[in-house]
């Protein structure tokens, strides 16, 4: 930690970090395990309509509850005065993955922001914004489906995110997969901005 932190920062950073951590935690299970319709993780990924902010809030809160208690990040020590730090106990592999993705974002921020904006323009042009992204709502045309798949692949590649296949197996819907990745992009952008402003170094 460095620089001047506001009370809002002290909420925003850990809140965003735990959401990203919970999201990446959900991919620790082997992909072949994602077959049970009643599985809590499958339900979380497949039932959200993704038609506004509440869908994202509920999605990440549900994922947070799925993280095993012993694997949830806990504060081990914290100091604000220089040199400041927040020391956490958590799964190191996930923390390193978060760091990698944040660095990918920082290195390709302009390209990622342009891609994100182009994806949203493309979704509006194809009238995809109002389609409920539930598994049972597979009302996509071939053009809409191809656009969603291509956009998800481009976004994940630029972010250095490697679990698109797992998301698609969980959602069984390319539009839901894309909307989840767009929300993940927004979360990563928050952490990247903390880094770029010198407030954090993961």
Assess whether pLDDT exceeds 70 at residue 28.
yes
What is the model's pLDDT at position 30? 78
Least confident interval from 43-57, 116-130, 183-197? 43-57
What is the model's pLDDT at position 35? 65
Q: How far apart are CA 70 and CA 163, in angstroms?
A: 23
Assess whether pLDDT exceeds 70 at residue 131.
yes
Kindly indicate the confidence band of residue 67, based on its pLDDT and cuts at 50, 70 and 90: very high
Assess whether pLDDT exceeds 80 at residue 107.
yes
Domain boundaries defined on the chain: 7-196
> Are 74 and 17 within 8 A, CB to CB?
no
Assess whether pLDDT exceeds 60 at residue 54.
yes
Kindly indicate the confidence band of residue 38, based on its pLDDT and cuts at 50, 70 and 90: low
Listed residue (156, 158, 131, 159) closest to 145, CA to CA: 131
Averaged over 42-69, what is the pLDDT? 86
Q: Which residue has the higher pLDDT, 83 or 21?
A: 21
For all residues of the chain together, what is the average pLDDT? 90
pLDDT tens track for 132-170: 766 545 678 899 999 999 999 999 999 999 999 999 989
Assess whether pLDDT exceeds 80 at residue 89.
yes
Residue 74 phi/psi, 5-degree rounding, is -130, 145
């Amino acid at each position: 930690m460095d620089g001047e932190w506001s009370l809002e920062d002290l909420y925003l950073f850990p809140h965003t970090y735990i959401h990203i951590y919970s999201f990446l935690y959900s991919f620790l299970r082997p992909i072949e395990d994602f077959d049970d319709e009643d599985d809590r993780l499958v339900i979380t990924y497949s039932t959200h309509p993704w038609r506004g902010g509440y869908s994202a809030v509920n999605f990440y809160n549900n994922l947070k509850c799925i993280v095993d208690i012993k694997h949830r990040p806990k504060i081990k020590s914290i100091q604000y005065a220089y040199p400041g730090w927040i020391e956490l106990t958590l799964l190191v592999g996930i923390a390193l993955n978060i760091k990698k993705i944040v660095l990918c974002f920082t290195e390709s921020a302009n390209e990622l922001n342009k891609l994100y904006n182009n994806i949203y323009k493309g979704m509006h042009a194809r009238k995809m914004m109002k389609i409920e992204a539930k598994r049972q709502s597979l009302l996509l045309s071939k053009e809409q489906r191809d656009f969603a798949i291509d956009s998800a692949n481009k976004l994940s590649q630029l972010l250095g995110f490697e679990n698109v296949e797992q998301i698609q197996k969980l959602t069984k819907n390319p539009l839901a997969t894309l909307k989840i990745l767009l929300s993940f992009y927004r979360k990563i952008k928050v952490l990247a901005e903390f880094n770029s402003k010198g407030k954090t170094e993961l």
